[in-house]
Structure 1
Amino acid sequence: MSQWADLPKELLEMISKRLDLRVEVLRFRAVCSSWRCSVSPPSFDQEIPPFFLKLPPPIRAPDPIFAGAILMQTTICRMEFLCNYSNSSCSLSKSSLVKVGESKHGKLQLFHPLSNQETNDSFISLNLLDLKFVQLSKACLLKWPGGISVFGINKVVVFPLSGGCIDNCELGILAIYHEGKLGYWRYGDKEWTLLDDRNFEYDDIIVYKGQFYVVDRWGTVSWIDSSLKVIQYSPPLYGCGGQKNLVESCGDLYVVDRYLDGERRTWKDYEDVMDTNGNPLCFSRLMSKARPMAVDFRVYKLDEEWGTWVDIKSLDDRIFILGIDCSFSVSCRDLSGGKGNCIYFYDSLYGGQGMSGGAIHVFRFEDHSIDNLALIPDFSEIFWPANTGSST
């Protein structure tokens, strides 16, 4: 190790600048004292500034004492457990999925990728030198202080994308709220900007190849340009399912069509419990309405050359993860346990981003079966720790 400790500081600085994740910077600094002195600790408050977002109506805080909502940004990683470095013939012994929160003061926050349940206590005993983090995707979630999810927000992403510090004047978010409305809010705005006043049936947003894409309940994919104009990208899918998700896999964009056992809430349900000024009249009635559960899935990929949808019959070795705040794919060959050709998803009973009352399920393509993850423990090994995530 002594020969590595004597590397020039200039070389160490060049290496550190090529580390994509801040947790990797922490691992770098943990190698030895000379490496730690050569590189400053990462600043954990650069990407999302530590301030409250005073969201305008129709988004309302559950308690007037709240100064605003907190925008939490996380990174979904494949966490690889490494063997002894001195054994060059040793390969990776285990690899699991985890969500890494970027907090202040160098403290890492780890969450279950699907349920967002925090798992920090199990992380304390781990040695960063024994771990490698591979970034798979990024996610954003709005929460009130105390961890209460922002009711009515279905999906949120930071707009525009920024590679550096975001100050108060630059921060903006795209959101699907009230089960279908597509809106934009910039820090300090007194109201939301509705991006499409003709379509209130949007289901999902994704950042794909540096662009923002949305899908509605008919399976029409559109992209959002820098001027916030919504431009149709694909023909309608006209899938018969009740909920659509966008997933990137191996460089291609997929639409996952979820079939439900009942009718979903719509934007009209929210308007029925609000007065003309956007004040809630009877939210308890809306929140008590259970969500329908998934009973089947279909997956489609757009043939861009012919402008037609291709019905995918198998995901092969791929696993699709439909999270509360982010959807992504991964190969089962890169993970410990689990099997390919399946979809992991979170069925929430009552709504919102990560509200309690739900469970993780697994859909298997070979027989179109759906099981609660708690009943098939072998499939939970792809997450770390494997025994978390049944609820938020």
Structure 2
Amino acid sequence: MDSHQSRAPWADPPKDILDLVVRRISCEVDRLRMGRVCHSWRLALAKLKPPAPPPPLPWLVLPETDVHGLTFSCVLSGWRRTHPFFLPHAARHARYFGSYDGVWLFLAVDGQGDEDQDHLLVNLTNFQFLDLPNAIRIDPMFPQVIKDIEIAIVAATLSRQPTEQGCIAAGIIQLPPFFLGVKAIAFRRMGDRVILPFYEEVCHEVVEDLLYYKGDFLLLTREEDIRVCPEPIFHEAHVQVVSNLLRFQPRGDDENILARYLVQSRGRVLMVVKLSSPLDYWPTSAFRVFQREDRPLDDGMLEYSWSELDKLDGRMLFLRRGCSRSYEAADGYPGMEGIYFLDDRSFHEPIFHDPDMAFDHAYHCSDNGKWSKSPSPQVDRCFPERGQSKYSSSVWILP
């Protein structure tokens, strides 16, 4: 048998067969791996112009645990297959609290003290690091006495790309135990190392999520109202913030609500409610999706309400506080309509703790998956299995 006959039958496939194979592989990383199968495939791929992949979707980042290292997965590879990705050592052991379009990742790395955390924004394409505030200036009674209080940022969003002039960040922050573990809202300019105080009556409600939409920061409250904050004005010693609370018509109570999210989809604002069932082993059991409706009244005022959508209508919703996104299955993702969710139960748990008390913080990372509304509502645990992490919950990387 000559050498030509001994070659594997797939080593030199016809061009049309190879073209069909490439068209079924949408993931860029998988295409690179395909080129490493053998020399003839690499040559054939170099001559073949592959079809353009559909618009990219978020990558799933699962943090390190005692058993598993940091992993990256994408929907185009079937989620359970992971991709290699380099991150600096400090970033691998960081707490991830969100992401932004253009593969920007919000993270907090350990500082010099036992509890100190250094908040950063890193771009995973060029590894550009931008500093974020680690403290807030508190002077509620005596303005001449200025004191900086350490904070922990737990969710964040931006008004525009962080490298653009005029970028403003809004975040949900957690304060130390002597403030009773309260969560607050903060605004800052990119480059500020300390968050300046604002004295207006801005937000006393418990905030579930935040979204930047058409020039305003929208804050979703636990009562399912929305507080609208236009971009604030920054002065030398304080921030000028104005806001307006939009009270929504009560829609009735859901039992066992785990979380509420704001998502911009098709030019509208959606509220997605995550539900659990006390009879299920896994916490997440279902979702309800509502669309904001503004109805004019006879007196010229507006009535705000949440109208439930009876179907997703081709939407692919990726949920996480501060960085939820909506994509379209019609853009090259047939059969992938659904709600993709991450385990964010740790959002409600304190980051700061009493140093005199034993404390072993662990982040939940197991309640991840996809929920489909049709043909019948169901949860698919389609992500890699992962136990608790000492560092962080899971997060999306936004393309």
> Taking structure 2 as the reference length, what is the TM-score of the superposition?
0.48
> Taking structure 1 as the reference length, what is the TM-score of the superposition?
0.49
Which of 1 and 2 has greater Rg?
2
